[in-house]
Amino acid sequence: MLIFLLRRLLYTLPIMFGVALVCFALVHLAPGDPLVSILPPDASAELQAQLLQLYGFDRSYPEQFLHWVWRALQGDLGTSIASGRPVAAEVGNAVINTLRLAVLATLIGFVFGSLFGFVAGYFQNSWIDKAASLTSVLGVSVPHYWLGMVLVIVFSSQLMWLPPGGAGPGGSSDWAWDAEHLRHMLLPAITMSVIPMGIIARTVRALVAEILTQEFVVGLRAKGLTDFGVFRHVVKNAAPTALAVMGLQLGYLLGGSILIETVFSWPGTGFLLNSAIFQRDLPLLQGTILVLAVFFVLLNLVVDVIQTLLDPRITRA
């Protein structure tokens, strides 16, 4: 296990370098002047040159990239052009907010997706299977930003049960573990959980259907094991793959929540990315994408290790 872990850690190094390179290249290839948000319309050429030198934009692209990577390794992601604050501080707060939301959404999606998938796979071709499969297909097909707006209209505007947006009362971004803040989190978490729920349900349903055709299940039934006992063995065999899918979905939610966080004004990485794109804030955009990529790579590593521990049949060369 130690050798496997060390190898996976070594494999992440070229992956992270490639991610940093792609992130830097795509951001700089985008059209527009990164200093347009802070330069006055009548800015002199001398002021423009000073700001270009201050942010390092007067250097060549290879020099900018190496300097940015070196500072990122030291924990310095630069300074936001729009706000003037350290990028690491802004990204850190946003990542924590997104992580709270993504973890809750993944748990909701995993619990209900696994439930629908196990039931649908165990009772194949029944009305239960059809209902669960229809629910999972709808979860994957419905645009989540549209679903978020519908939930706001129904539960906030019409029924007035839940707040429409923000992370706290009065649009505050400060977080506290109390009922009021959890109420602000509920609608965006449910909206984010729909797609993972559908993906996990379809994956688990196919796994259970395949496991039920294997010889060991026939042997268990021949020994007189009850349906619940057989179901318990099926769950044990399907759990590692379901866990791997859950880990991937958590990674996708960390980086793909920009539309939902914008709809609900949730102060996370998606909302921060949206602001950085429209303000052409290159340091903030690069820092946010890099941190999300690091989270995704490390999350895959953790899922691989946990999957290996849960399923002894999996061997890592």
pTM, entire model: 0.73
Phi-psi region of 33 (alpha: psi -120 to 50; beta: other; left: phi over 0): beta
Q: Which CATH number applies to 87-310: 1.10.287.3510, 3.40.50.300, 1.10.3720.10, 3.20.20.140?
A: 1.10.3720.10
Backbone angles phi, psi at 86, to 5 degrees: -60, 135
Q: What pLDDT does residue 111 have?
A: 86
pLDDT at 5 over 80: no
Q: Where are the domains of the chain?
A: 87-310
3-state SS, residue 31: coil
pLDDT at 157 over 60: yes
Q: What pLDDT does residue 172 have?
A: 61
Q: Which amino acid is at 248?
A: L
Mean pLDDT of 198-202: 84
Q: What's the rounded Cα separation, in Å, for the pair 76 and 283?
A: 11
Higher pLDDT, 225 or 143: 143
Q: Is 284 exposed, middle or buried (0-12, 13-18, 19+ CB in 10 A)?
A: buried
Angle between helices 269-279 and 282-310 (to 10 degrees): 150
Classify each residue of 114-131 as buried b or exposed e, where b means 16 or more C-beta atoms within 10 Å of its C-beta: bebbbbbbbeeeeeebee
Query: Which pLDDT tens digit goes with each residue over 82-134?
Result: 777 888 888 888 888 888 888 888 888 888 888 888 888 777 778 887 887 78
pLDDT band at 317 (very low <50, low <70, confident <90, very high): very low
Mean pLDDT of 15-29: 78
Mean pLDDT of 16-34: 74
Higher pLDDT, 2 or 114: 114
Query: Which pLDDT tens digit goes with each residue over 33-75?
Result: 666 655 666 666 777 677 777 767 777 778 888 888 888 888 8
